[in-house]
Chain A
Amino acid sequence: MGELFTLPVLLGIAYSGVRLATPYLYAALGEMFAQRSGVLNLGVEGIMLMGAYTGFFVGMTTGNLWLGLLSAALVGLLMGLLMAFISVTLQAEQGISGIGLHLFGLGLSSLLFKKTFGGVESISGFQPVKIPLLGDLPLVGEVFFNHSVLVYGAFLLVPLAAWVLNRTTLGLRIRAVGQNPEAADSLGVSVAGVRYFTVSLGGVLAGVAGASLSIALINLFQENMTNGQGFIAVALVYFGSWSPLGVLAGALLFSFVNALQLWIQVKGINLPSDVAVMMPYVLTIAALTFAVRRARQPAALTKPFARGES
């Protein structure tokens, strides 16, 4: 373990920690909007898988990564709309419908992958872009300012999400609908409209999160390649107490544990790799346990709204 505490190793882990936070950030920030408006979308994992596949397939066949990203976002939007229709219009139980959406995305992405590729192929994904000046800073530059566009986008999304949620009318409406839908409704806010918007937005971001894996971070597609990251993203929203900064903190914590875990696997020291792989999941349960203490859950989370019912 002594090797861990050398500068190059620590910098390497920090670099991949920042990088690996990307899918968590996109997916969890999108999910945060949905939950703040009162909808728990557990289908994030399935949407991410479809986004990852779509981004990879379109990027591969057209050779245009941006088109791949756009298609992934579009598929995410469609699946988000489906989830919104089921949970808002049909008022279905949200936890179970999310699992249904996950199974659907998992099955469909595996099906399409086997039909269109058959085997694992890799793609030349988004390349790191060094930011002028900042990228030349010692240490910091290396860790933070030499990433692909999608990584920068994920981190820029944090202040943007905070601004929308706390400083705009739209954000106020989202919070109102999640906290007290009856009151929001009586003031003329369309509860269904707001929830359709947030769940669709969550879908788009989950699609992008998936694509960030397949065309920017790992640069290949595999069946079930997200491996629970979508579910962890949902847990991060709880962990981050439904705030963008909290989500950022959680995403970084997880991605650093992930980076550390990958390093341990490569080194194969002391710890069997299977035990190392367990770490993020054990951490999630621990994080959820601590998050409960200071939880300020949106009051209407998972409760469907029907006018005049309560």
Chain B
Amino acid sequence: MPYVKRILSGWAEALLPVAAVALALLIGAGMLLALGADPLKAYSAMLQGAAGSVSGITQTLVKATPLLLVGLGITIAFRGGVINIGGEGQLIVGALAATAMALAFPEWPGVILLPLALAAGVAGGAAWGGVPGVLKARLGVNEILSTIMMNQIAIQLSNYLLRGPMIDPAEIARGTQIAQSAQLPQQVWLIRLVPRTLLNGGAIIAVVMAVLVYIFLWRTTIGYRIRAVGLNAEAARYAGIRVPVYQALALVLGGAFAGLAGAVEVLGVQHRMLEGLSGGYGFSGIVAALFGKLHPLGVIPASILFGGLLVGADKMQRAVQVPSALIGALQGLVVLFVVSSDIWARYRARRRQTYG
């Protein structure tokens, strides 16, 4: 029977995040009741909105795309033992860079300009993650705090650029002064997968990236070293791995994926850069990565789930008049529960060690 038992406990561990979401939704139901709303009605509206129609499902996948990309970056960073909270800022800078690239050469053909715009997004995000990375590697600056500060700086940078140098000339001409860039040339738009919806080629890019990140982390030397540093920095150092270099690399790669998310959001969904483009993907991506147990392939279903929650929240807001901010609070609870549930895994690991 020990074999069966092991399989069962393996399942139990995999199901912990699911239990965390269930618990968060249960507490959410309590909050809904306290606010005088019918939880069943609210949650069925949410489900209906996220998965009840073709447009709902495509909307869910559209939201899942940046979550998956950001979540992959978070996965690499956390696996490398660095806590990257800077997804939000990295995404914004990636989006700005992709926009700038596409607008700089509007005459170039799409086959050249599209990859260049995507690459600019990756580079922008990587640079934004690189600053905390280098500061950590060189000077030991706490990356949690520096990435948070980089978020705030990115938001201000974006506000400045979109109100000044990058503002759509049409906005100035009309005198409306909405803080957004001009529309990108059509040839750089990512293809739409389902007509008359926002679902675009970015979703495919994201899934391919998930597979690539899996191969990178588990089948390449660099990926192995990043994981080794994250598992036990001391041991990695004794094994001759240059710990700071790989910590910085983990932050740079984390930024690169968030930057790609920003580029995809601009090239695939909005077709221009605008204020509030991200709307919290940087933080929701952390939730998705944790829910996916920091496994690149696990982040795929996780980002679909949280994409669905974001889409469903709007529907819920209309159905029972409870602000969609509820979902933000529930995401926080999911993080708390998932992180707390680690104690079970540790407890079981210790028991295995002791009793074989």
Contact = CB atoms under 8 A, between A and B. Distances in A.
Nearest to A94: B339
A96 B290 contact: yes
A278 B148 contact: no
Contacts of B330: 107
A191 B346 CA distance: 20
A217 B333 CA distance: 30
A238 B159 CA distance: 29
Interface of A: 42, 46, 82, 86, 90-93, 95-97, 99-108, 110-111, 114-115, 223, 227-228, 231-232, 234-235, 238, 272, 274-275, 277-278, 281-282, 284-285, 288-289, 292, 295
B164 interface: yes
Given A93-B342, A95-B144, 16 more contacts: A86-B339, A92-B336, A101-B336, A103-B287, A104-B329, A105-B332, A106-B328, A110-B328, A111-B322, A114-B325, A227-B152, A278-B152, A285-B150, A288-B141, A288-B146, A292-B140
Contacts of A105: 332
**10 nearest A-B residue pairs (beta carbon):** A107-B328, A104-B332, A100-B335, A107-B329, A103-B332, A274-B160, A110-B325, A114-B323, A100-B336, A111-B325
B156 interface: yes
B244 to A, nearest CB: 13
A103 B328 contact: yes
A274 B83 contact: no
A292 B141 contact: yes
A275 B156 contact: yes
A97 B339 contact: yes
Nearest to A92: B339
Interface residues on B, range: 35 or more
13 contacts: A86-B340, A95-B144, A100-B335, A103-B287, A104-B332, A106-B329, A107-B332, A108-B325, A108-B329, A111-B31, A114-B325, A235-B149, A278-B157
A82 to B, nearest CB: 8
Contacts, number: 139
A238 B144 CA distance: 12
Contacts of B333: 100, 104
Interface string B319-356: 00011011111111111100110110010000000000
Nearest to A236: B145
A228 B148 contact: yes
B328 A231 contact: no
B135 interface: yes
A46 B328 CA distance: 12
A101 B160 CA distance: 30
B332 A46 contact: yes
B38 to A, nearest CB: 15
B163 interface: yes
A284 B322 contact: no
A100 B160 contact: no
